[in-house]
Amino acid sequence: MSTRMARPVAEAPVTSAQADVSIVLPYYRSHRYFAETLDSIVAQDCRVREVVVIDDGTPPHPDGTPDTRCEEILARYPFVTFARQDNTGPGGARHAGMLLTSAPYVCFLDCDDRIAPGGLARLRDALVEHPDWGLVSGRALVIDETGAPTGMFMLPQPAGGDLYTALLERAYICPPGSVLFRRSALDAVGGWHSDPRRWGVEDYDVYLRVVQLGPIGTVQDVVNEYRRHPGSQGQYVERLYESIVCILGDMATFTLEDPERDAARRRGLEYWQREFHLRRREHELRTALRSRAYLRAIPLAAVFVLRHPKQVARSVYHRLRARVVRGRSPSTVHESVVR
């Protein structure tokens, strides 16, 4: 791994050697939204000890010349520590970045998402207040390619109860940037894994390993702005489903002696089976529409509406609501989004 260290923290506008939070960003051809992501860190009212970017083997341009867009963007953010490695996937990149950090709390932010205003401080304060928590997660607001709110949130955060059981039943934590980890908890479970059987859901894997170790927590504040766009991993439906099944299958080793948690694990498998069935159909329909294969799209749309009317109604509602939200001033966005 080649590394370019940051300039002294005393010269950096958002970092401090006395701060107790580090941020890791895995980078892979993520230049389109990268500056926006870094700007969201700069805008935080919580200073950080270090910001680490790991280029996970971004390939060269088609003509064979190196892709240097990451370094070009980082030239405007000299407080960032930058390292490049051969491609290992998101889990491997996050783990490599973690090894370059020294703070007791670590956030892993994707290079197309943003930390919501005040989000980092809210997560950090929660871990300080609850020294037994291995991680804390918050709410994520969905934004579109332009960065505008869509009017939707990711899954709600449980307000309490057995969060291990809740996490088995529904992977309510998403995306990774909505989480702040206690570094000691990450070290205790061996950090991030890059097992290809868990591709795309390495975050779910590490959450489940941390919650097996001890308590975790939630906050109800919006702490992350999660960008959905055509390049998101969500398009790889089959592989993601196989990874989820693998993780929940492995969890049986730990839940079989607890009937309530094992029932939650099985409900989780049933939920994901239904969810990915819908995603397959939706992906087929979107692909047909984008390629203007209308003779294929029409029967697909008819089947989708007939078999999944609630899903269609929700989708239409969210799209209409998103248009309303985009037309309002930024100061009212968070009060206007759909829960």
- Domains of the chain (ranges; CATH) run 2-235 (3.90.550.10)
Question: 79-93, 128-142, 283-297, 320-334: lowest mean pLDDT where?
Answer: 320-334
Condensed to tens digits (0 to 9), the pLDDT of residues 81-133 reads 999 999 999 999 999 999 999 999 999 999 999 999 999 999 999 999 999 99
Tell me what pLDDT residue 242 has: 93
Strands (E), the chain: 2-4, 21-27, 50-56, 80-85, 105-108, 114-115, 135-143, 149-153, 179-182, 217-227
> Percent of the chain, pLDDT > 90?
67
Residue 103: its pLDDT value, please?
Answer: 97
Q: What angle do CA 5, 40, 115 make, to 5 degrees?
A: 105
Could you count the other beta carbons within 10 Å of the beta carbon of residue 141? Answer: 23
Q: Residue 98 and residue 167: Cα distance in Å, rounded?
A: 24
- Mean pLDDT on 317-324: 60
pLDDT beyond 70 at 325: no
Q: Which residue has the higher pLDDT, 146 or 328?
A: 146
pTM of structure: 0.85
| 100-129 b/e (C-beta count within 10 Å ≥ 16 → b) | bbebbbbbbbbbbbbbbbebbbbbbebbee
Mean pLDDT value across residues 296-304: 77
